Homo-oligomer: A and B are copies of this chain.
Amino acid sequence: MPLAAPRLADPGALCTDLYELTMLQGFFERGMQDIAVFEFFARRLPDCRNFYLAAGLEQALDYLERLRFEQAELDWLDGLGLFRRDFLDHLAGLRFTGDVDAMAEGTPFFADEPILRITAPLPEAQLVEARLINLLHFQSLIASKAARVALVAPGRRLVDFGMRRAHGAEAAVYAARACYLAGFDASSTVLACAEFGIPASGTMAHSFVQAHAGEAEAFEHFARSLPQAAVLLIDTYDTEAAAAKVVALAPRLAEAGVRIRGVRLDSGDLAAHAHKVRAILDAGGLGEATIFASGNLDEYAIRRLLEAGAPIDGFGVGTLLDTSSDLPALDCAYKLQEYAGQPRRKRSEGKTTWPGRKQVWRRYDADGRCCGDRLTLADERAEGVALVRPAMRGGRRVQPSPGLAQVREHARRQLESLPSALRGLEPAPGYPVEVSAAMRALAATADRLSGG
């Protein structure tokens, strides 16, 4: 159940790059308000990602719906000495009135495939560039990483533990959302749970143990205080000795109706400790108590633990996930594809892009596995399912947002439909994405129009 009044405030219209505003003044002076088409896409897939997972659309649409400059913001801009007063007055009335077409959140995507298209008067479409990238990039970044973790640990409980080293509060909250969307079960970030209705999860810190005279006292005290969720952290001093203390404590707690749900390991050789602790718990009659592991985990560490047969029931994944540490940023862009009815294409060295409004068609085989995409112009038809669909018309959503649970279910089915090579951690042979002949022809036209 989300919190009624969200605390993660909209940072407002000044959350943009300065050049968006200087360009807008240029457009304003020349009356350049024709319809522009921008698309957001990623340029390539590195070896450590076999697919990306689209996320952040919900926050992008919220941003577009709320976009407006407050008077105090305009006054502050005035003080920069860069802007004409008539331009700032014009900004006061600016709203996003355009169209958005997008892939549903939770859809896998590949290089050059747009996950969002903006069709709007040029100034509106330009102004929103920086924040749209900021929102779509980050959640897609984390969802893409989290999906790898989820795919490698089926049936295990996965909890996002990343708040403290996420890059700020917004990063922590949106990372939690992206993880849940991609298949995680819960988050320890309370604000994210409050904002999005994500199940909240957490155990105890070493400091809880340290603040007590001894571990046994700390364990008993915690379990009695939180009988419905008692997971005890047992690695503060000596892991196996602590497991034995848990076993010794259990009968007395059981008499009081308190059941120990599990233990958490957070350091050392997690597989070796898990085996020993499992044996201690089982021998002590705590066969139902689960073992939860954390500490510098990512999809590779979790795979190693599972391959070693470590009896671990769940994983807390933090820093390496919430910072997407092996790929802290995607090579992505929000590029002008068309202005005033003419296709546009940038040809900067190493950064050439496909022009025009695009559609992505995804084909599926008889088993329901996707087997190839086709990148076409938006008005072409092709075999398969069209992934880029209307999300907003005239500045308003075309339908109520799907809840996060529905997005998560969509992502689960989408991930299931990926070819098995793409679902693994090893670099897979490139997923086939064909470019239509009409798009190639348009690229040549765009080059000719710009004097290429």
Which residues of A does B touch, CB under 8 Å?
1, 3-5, 7-9, 11-12, 14-23, 25-27, 29-30, 32, 36, 38, 72-73, 76-77, 79-82, 122, 126, 129-131, 133-135, 137-138, 141, 161, 163-175, 188-191, 193-194, 200-208, 210-211, 214, 221-222, 224-226, 228-229, 235-238, 266-269, 319-320, 323-325, 328-330, 332, 335-336, 339, 344-351, 450-452
What is the CA–CA distance of A79 and B21 in the complex, to the nearest angstrom? 44
Q: Is the CB of A3 within 8 A of B72?
A: yes
Q: Is the CB of B191 within 8 A of A14?
A: yes
Q: Is the CB of A202 within 8 A of B17?
A: yes
What is the CA–CA distance of A214 and B339 in the complex, to the nearest angstrom? 13
What is the CA–CA distance of A32 and B217 in the complex, to the nearest angstrom? 13
Collect the chain B residues with CB atoms within 8 Å of residue A36's CB: 207, 211
**Which of A27, A205, A221 has the largest number of chain B CB atoms within 10 A?**
A205
Collect the chain B residues with CB atoms within 8 Å of residue A188's CB: 17-19
What is the CA–CA distance of A218 and B324 in the complex, to the nearest angstrom? 38
* Nearest 6 pairs of A and B residues by beta carbon: A18-B202, A168-B170, A19-B202, A9-B9, A167-B167, A268-B349
Collect the chain B residues with CB atoms within 8 Å of residue A228's CB: 81-82
What is the CA–CA distance of A361 and B20 in the complex, to the nearest angstrom? 47
Nearest-Cβ distance from residue A419 to partner chain B, whole angstroms: 29
Collect the chain B residues with CB atoms within 8 Å of residue A194's CB: 14, 73, 76
Nearest-Cβ distance from residue A100 to partner chain B, whole angstroms: 17
* Given pairs A18-B190, A29-B224, A236-B346, 19 additional interface contacts (CB within 8 A): A1-B76, A9-B9, A15-B191, A22-B204, A26-B204, A26-B208, A27-B211, A32-B211, A36-B207, A73-B194, A76-B194, A80-B200, A81-B228, A82-B228, A130-B163, A130-B164, A168-B169, A211-B336, A267-B349
Collect the chain B residues with CB atoms within 8 Å of residue A80's CB: 200
What is the CA–CA distance of A80 and B170 in the complex, to the nearest angstrom? 22
Q: Is the CB of A134 within 8 A of B225?
A: no
Q: Is the CB of B15 within 8 A of A346?
A: no
Asked if A169 meets B15 with Cβ closer than 8 Å, knowing A4-B72, A38-B207, A350-B268, the reply is: yes
Q: Is the CB of A325 within 8 A of B329?
A: yes
Asked if A138 meets B163 with Cβ closer than 8 Å, knowing A5-B72, A15-B191, A79-B1, the reply is: no
**Which of A18, A126, A236, A268 has the largest number of chain B CB atoms within 10 A?**
A18
Collect the chain B residues with CB atoms within 8 Å of residue A72's CB: 3-5
Asked if A205 meets B5 with Cβ closer than 8 Å, knowing A167-B167, A168-B174, A210-B344, the reply is: no
Asked if A133 meets B191 with Cβ closer than 8 Å, knowing A207-B126, A236-B348, the reply is: no
**Which of A36, A82, A122 has the largest number of chain B CB atoms within 10 A?**
A82
